[in-house]
Structures are given as structure tokens and as C-alpha cells.
Amino acid sequence: MCVHMVLQDADVASRREAAARKRAEDIAAGTVQMNGRELFLHEPWVFDNDCY
């Protein structure tokens, strides 16, 4: 692999990691709503239909 591609892949991975960390911090602070997947991971009882 070309050195340029490896550096580019590392840069993309670090940006994704930073964005995911910022999103997690914003969700914890309550400034951003969770999407369905995040809600299911953090509060699975919301999707529990056994009470009906």
C-alpha cells in the first residue's frame, strides 16, 4: 500500500473517532437527541412491548 493511502486512512479514522466521541458527549449533556440505535443501546426498556 502507498504511504499516502495509509496516512489518509489514519486521518479518516481519527476524524470518525473524534466525531463519535463528540456525539457521545453531546448526548450525555442532553444537547442532542439519540437516534433509534443509540436509544436501544442506552435504554432498551423503551422498546420492550411485554407490558401490552
In a domain, 28, yes or no: yes
In a domain, 52, yes or no: no
In a domain, 17, yes or no: yes
- Secondary structure in 3-state letters for 26-39: HHHHCCCCCCHHHH
Its pTM stands at 0.67
pLDDT number for residue 1: 59
In a domain, 31, yes or no: yes
Supply angle C-alpha 12, 14, 16, rounded to 5.
Answer: 70
**Element holding 15 (H helix, E strand):** helix 3-29
**Element holding 42 (H helix, E strand):** helix 36-42
pLDDT digits (tens, 9 = 90+) for 4-44: 788 899 999 999 999 999 999 999 999 999 999 999 988 99
Gap between the Cα atoms of 20 and 37, Å rounded: 14
In a domain, 13, yes or no: yes
Range of the domain at 40: 3-47
Number of domains making up the chain: 1
Three-state secondary structure call for residue 52: coil
In a domain, 8, yes or no: yes
